Amino acid sequence: MLYRFQSGDQIYEITLERQGDGFQATIAGQSYLVEVLDAQPGQLSLRFAGRPLILYWAARGGQKWLSLDGCAYRLEKPVPRATRSNLEPGGQAVRAPMPAQVRAVSVAEGEQVEKGQTLLLLEAMKMEIRIRAPGPGKVARLLVSAGQVVEKEQLLVEVQAEEGED
């Protein structure tokens, strides 16, 4: 069975086929033998390519979160590139400068903003990062919420420029 998922702007494909007591996983053209050693709610103990691993997971709506080897991943169903941003001419996409967690959202969709106004507060590596409006305009789309983990270059906010401000 083929599984497709997206983490940030990267799309991944994994094929899983039952093989004996385990699975054959094909990832980026490489095949691996995966054996499920134990399954608990939110946790899988695996032997992946001969190496024991513990995979923690959670799901909510169309999103899934995985933690493996000390790294956390947020996975979603892939979004076609053409629909990721629907900016009209004069609009600006505001993206995450690095992987971070959204600490606060200071604006709402439809709200007028001024150049330099704080839109979001992110936290990464114990640093606070203020995400500011690139110019005056209206918040066309707000794509994140407080507590959400975002990837580098993930689209956070779309700001539509005011008339005559292109």
CA–chain centroid gap for 17, Å, is: 27
Within this chain, domains 2-76 and 89-161 share the same CATH topology: no
Please, which residues have CB within 8 angstroms of residue 44's CB and are 6 or more apart in sequence? 36, 38, 54, 55, 57
Structural Rg of the chain based on CA atoms: 20
**Structure-derived torsion over alpha carbons of residues 86, 87, 89, 92, reported in degrees to the nearest 10:** -160
The fold adopted by the segment(s) 89-161 is OB fold (Dihydrolipoamide Acetyltransferase, E2P) (2.40.50)
CA angle 12, 13, 15 (to 5 degrees): 150
Which CATH class for the 2-76 domain? alpha beta
CB 91 within 8 A of CB 140: yes
Kindly list the domain boundaries of the chain, sorted by start residue.
2-76, 89-161
The H-or-E segment that residue 15 falls in is strand 10-19
Segment 31-47 shows an average pLDDT of 93
Q: pLDDT tens digit string along 91-142?
A: 788 988 888 899 999 999 999 999 999 999 999 888 899 999 988 999 999 9
Q: pLDDT tens digit string along 50-104?
A: 899 999 989 877 678 889 888 888 888 775 443 345 555 667 889 888 888 999 9
